[in-house]
Chain A
Amino acid sequence: MSSIELLTNKEYKYGFVTDIESDMIPRGLSEDTIRLISAKKNEPEFMLEFRLKAYRNWLKMEEPQHWPNITYPKVDYQDIIYYSAPKQKATKASMDEVDPELIKTFEKLGIPLTEQKMLAGVAVDAVFDSVSVATTYKAKLKQHGVIFCSFSEAVLEYPELIKKYLGTVVPTNDNYFAALNSAVFTDGSFVFIPKGVHCPMELSTYFRINNSESGQFERTLIIAEEGAHVSYLEGCTAPKFDKNQLHAAVVELVALDDAEIKYSTVQNWYAGDEEGKGGIYNFVTKRGACRGRNSKISWTQVETGSAITWKYPSCILQGDNSIGEFYSVALTNHAQQADTGTKMIHIGKNTRSNIVSKGISAGKSNNSYRGLVKVLAGAEGARNYTQCDSLLIGDKCGANTFPYIEVSNNTAKVEHEATTSRISEEQLFYLRQRGISQEDAVSLIINGFCKDVFRELPMEFAVEAQRLLGMKLEGSVG
């Protein structure tokens, strides 16, 4: 007698296309494509080698279509344009030289880039299709020794840092999509926080896919030296196209002794229509290495968009006493599919990890949590706590939990708790009896369900995340 039915998504308000001339390379992927991308970016030789090595690995690898709980038609990798950049001057002395169309696009997305309007306290790197088009507060950050710039710029300006860290957390042969990314990535963000510095503002990257044929392959590398602290946010949207676009990103984080990196994502890629037509394939590899003693890496993600989400932000807890955290809300509606979770690899002594996963499924969507907790023999006193909750709305959706636990040290303590619940008619009636509308009631219950994750988000992001969930799940009594 479930009378909870969902109305359609409220119109996806980021679905517009920017009309801008682009510099594109021909469709398809080969060693020549990679040489072309590398040449376009004037990259040093070591980068080209890195890419070619990855490409050769990729050719030998198999697309992971079997083990994740997702289904999709085979992607034709020769039918993708691997480089598409808005035409504009390569180097921009100031924001005034950024194409006004791009400034307008980002403004429409709520990301003002001009000096007068920039968000206070948040520095933004804006990535449009294959390239970074602007980075705010760069100079101000530099005064503190913080490097925040596009990945392309970092390759040219700080090749030693790139050489030292790139591919050390996610090797080029790590998995199919990471190998592909390593071969063809075009831009992304680079962050370096030197020893002892607490980054004076939030850093963020906003990813925008605009070209229906190009997909996005970006690379993010964040390094926090001894005692450094940084909080980094990422957001993303894409126009509504009937065709699927591939987004295969790699994010690598490195935390040295006593360093802390907090990485938050609000993912709102276009999800496709109700029948599952169109939308982004979000196949992403995110991993952080807690290399130093007492270091800490914390992932918070709110995944609301994409036709398919396949990602497992992970922590390698190498340093003694290091801490890994994963807080996730994954919402699927209509025909969306998500297979997401985390991996916590305990190597050092007294390492700790905490996992909180909240899955919300509606429509005929499918939502799986997949998590690995691995404790190696040397990880004396390691501890993990996992809480995995699923909330179902309606009776055509699915939720699954796949926890993998491998413990090789008997002093380790690993706890896993899982629950599945539904929004009940009685809860809705109770709230409505107090004058709260059906939509607000659903949204209140969902936000309550996600509270443990939302409170990990920076304030503005938490508000945005709550609004997004409410918008995605317009409920109605049928």
Chain B
Amino acid sequence: MLEIRDLHARVEGKDILRGVSLTVKRGEVHAIMGPNGSGKSTLAKVLAGHPSYEVTSGEVLFDGKNLLELEPDERAREGVFLAFQYPVEIPGVSNAQFLRLAYNEKRKHLGEEELDPLEFKDLLKERAQIVEMDAGLMSRSVNEGFSGGEKKRNEILQMAVLEPKLAVLDETDSGLDIDALRIVSEGVNKLRHADNAIVLVTHYQRLLNYIVPDYVHVLYKGRIVRSGGKELALALEEKGYDWIKDEAEESQPSAASA
């Protein structure tokens, strides 16, 4: 479904991704871990098409299509979803109105009839149960005055409404207390099925106790330096990132020390 080949990207003139390759198949869950600043969010934003990030080389195929030549909204309508690490506030726009607009864009794209506010309300009510989202949050402005946990839940609610083929969840676990983490994780598990794929970006192993990945990759300084099964995450939990860093430095000596 997703094929990333030797992807290089920069922001503000700084090279951040320095040759990322990754293949994600239908039905799989991949976790991308790595220390702060290693480029995890950058990878997520590049996949979603953030205009500030410039791809300098490499390719990304999504269901065989060249993802990089699509506009961000086209990518979304094709089924790429990003749960933001820092969801944005949109004052004056109700959550329900926003979600309905997004949902109807997708329906239009699929050649389906749009839903009117009443029909959509029913759908929204049903999907909100997946993340145990309070109905009161639907009439409030998008993310405005939401707590950290509510914002993250709202992201997963959007995923539940839009039913993407590929969902990239960027640090969805950060800022959640243990109960919220359980609810959000269970929500994601309910949305996980044989036809879609999930890329979990996280820095901590604890999320992976709830959402068990098929593969774990470690991103360090813009490259995937190690891949493995779920046990890799446990090893990281135990030993930290230092041994990976050391290994990476040994196998890829920097120009200065060479």
- Asked if A pairs with B, the answer is yes
Which of B89-97, B188-196, B202-210, B228-236 participates in binding chain A? Answer: B89-97
Residue of chain A at shortest CB distance from B97: A444
Q: Point out residues on B near A: beta carbons under 8 Å.
A: 48-52, 71-73, 75-77, 81-82, 84, 87-93, 98, 101-102, 105-106, 109, 141, 158, 162
What are 26 pairs between A and B in contact, CB < 8 Å?
Answer: A3-B51, A426-B88, A427-B88, A429-B51, A430-B87, A431-B98, A432-B49, A432-B76, A433-B48, A433-B72, A433-B73, A433-B75, A433-B82, A434-B98, A435-B76, A435-B102, A435-B162, A440-B105, A441-B73, A444-B101, A448-B92, A448-B141, A449-B91, A451-B92, A452-B92, A477-B51
Contact A438 B73 (CB under 8 A): yes
Chain A interface size, as a band, is 20 to 34
Contact (A436, B90) CB under 8 Å given A1-B52, A448-B141:
no
Q: Could you tell me if A429 and B72 are in contact, using CB atoms closer than 8 angstroms?
A: yes
Q: How far is the CA of A288 from the CA of B105 in the complex (A)?
A: 45
Contact of A434 with B162 at beta-carbon distance under 8 Å, contacts A440-B101, A445-B93, A448-B90 already known: yes
Within 8 Å CB of A445, what residues of B?
A: 90, 93
**Which residues of chain B have C-beta atoms less than 8 A from A427's C-beta?**
88-90
A425–B82 contact, CB under 8 A?
no
Q: If A433-B76, A434-B102, A437-B73 touch, does A448 touch B93 (CB 8 Å cutoff)?
A: yes
Distance in Å from the Cβ of A292 to the closest Cβ of chain B?
Answer: 35
Supply 8 further A-B pairs (C-beta < 8 A) apart from A426-B88, A434-B158, A445-B90. A430-B84, A430-B90, A432-B72, A433-B49, A433-B76, A433-B82, A433-B84, A436-B102
Residues of B within 8 A of A452 (CB): 92
How close is A447's CB to chain B, nearest CB, in angstroms? 7
Residues of B with C-beta under 8 A to A451:
92-93
State whether B92 touches A450 (Cβ < 8 A).
yes
Determine the residue in chain B with the shortest Cβ distance to A438.
B73
Hey, which chain B residues are within 8 Å of A434, CB to CB? 73, 76, 98, 102, 105, 158, 162
Identity of the chain B residue whose Cβ is nearest the Cβ of A1 in the assembled complex: B52
Say whether, besides A425-B51, A444-B98, A449 and B106 are in contact (CB < 8 Å): no
Docked Cα-Cα span, A425 to B50, in Å, equals 9
Q: Which residues of A contact B (CB under 8 A)?
A: 1, 3, 424-427, 429-438, 440-441, 444-445, 447-452, 477
Name the distance in Å between A424's Cβ and chain B's nearest Cβ.
8
B76 CB contacts on chain A under 8 angstroms: 432-435
Task: Please name all residues of chain B whose beta carbon is closer than 8 Å to the beta carbon of A437 when the two chains form the complex.
Answer: 73, 105
Q: Is the CB of A436 within 8 A of B105?
A: yes
Please name all residues of chain A whose beta carbon is closer than 8 Å to the beta carbon of B98 when the two chains form the complex. Answer: 431, 434, 444
Q: Is the interface of A mostly helix, strand, loop or mixed?
A: helix
Contact among B73, B89, B90 with A444 in the assembled complex (CB-CB below 8 Å)? B90
> Which of B73, B93, B106 is in CB contact (< 8 Å) with A432?
B73
Task: Given A440-B101, A448-B141, decide whether A432 and B90 contact each other with a Cβ distance below 8 A.
Answer: no
Most buried by B among A431, A437, A444: A431
Output the least CB separation between A396 and chain B (Å). 20
Docked pose: A3 CA to B52 CA in angstroms: 9
8 A-B pairs with least C-beta separation: A448-B92, A448-B93, A434-B102, A435-B76, A451-B92, A435-B105, A430-B88, A432-B72
**Distance A450 CA – B92 CA, assembled complex (angstroms):** 8
Which of A426, A435, A437, A445 has the most C-beta atoms of chain B within 10 angstroms of its own C-beta? A435
Kindly list chain A residues whose C-beta atoms are within 8 Å of the C-beta of B141. Answer: 448
A447 in complex: contacting residue of B92, B102, B158, CB < 8 Å = B92
Contacts of A447 in B (CB 8 A): 92-93
Q: Which residues of A contact B162 (CB under 8 A)?
A: 434-435
Alpha-carbon gap, A424 to B86, bound state (A): 14
Distance A42 CA – B150 CA, assembled complex (angstroms): 69
- Cβ-closest chain A residue relative to B107: A435
Q: How far is the CA of A449 from the CA of B158 in the complex (A)?
A: 22
CB distance A431 to B90 under 8 Å? Answer: yes
Minimum distance in angstroms from B150 CB to a CB of chain A: 16
Docked CA distance A435–B73 (Å):
4
Whole-angstrom distance between the alpha carbons of A426 and B90 in the complex? 10
Residue of A nearest to B73 (CB): A432
C-alpha gap A324/B159 in the complex (Å): 45
Q: How far apart are A89's CB and chain B's nearest CB, in angstroms?
A: 47
Contact B106 A435 (CB under 8 A): yes
Report Cα–Cα, A344/B64, bound state, in Å: 63
| A444 CB → nearest B CB, Å | 6
Closest Cβ of chain A to B170, distance in Å, is: 11
B101 and A436 contacting across the interface, CB-CB below 8 Å:
yes
Instruction: Kindly list chain A residues whose C-beta atoms are within 8 Å of the C-beta of B88.
Output: 424, 426-427, 429-430
> Quick one: which of B48, B90, B105, B158 has the most chain A CB within 10 A?
B90
B91 touches A448 (CB 8 A): yes
Residues in chain A near residue B93, CB distance under 8 A: 444-445, 447-448, 451
* Chain A residues, Cβ within 8 Å of B109: 435
CA distance A437 to B51 in the complex (A): 14
Residues of B within 8 A of A425 (CB): 51-52
Complex partner residue of B50 from A429, A449, A450, CB under 8 angstroms: A429
Measured CB to CB, the closest approach of chain A to B158, in angstroms, equals 7
B89 to chain A: closest CB distance in Å? 8
Q: Which residues of B contact A441 (CB under 8 A)?
A: 73
With A and B bound together, what is the CA distance between A451 and B97 in angstroms? 13
Give the CA-CA distance A429 to B44 in the complex, in Å. 13
**In whole angstroms, what is the CA distance A462 to B141 when docked?**
19
A436 to B98, CA, bound (A): 9
Q: List the A side residues contacting B73 at CB < 8 Å.
A: 432-438, 441
Report the bound CA distance from A371 to B207 in whole Å.
54
Complex Cα spacing A1 to B89, Å: 21
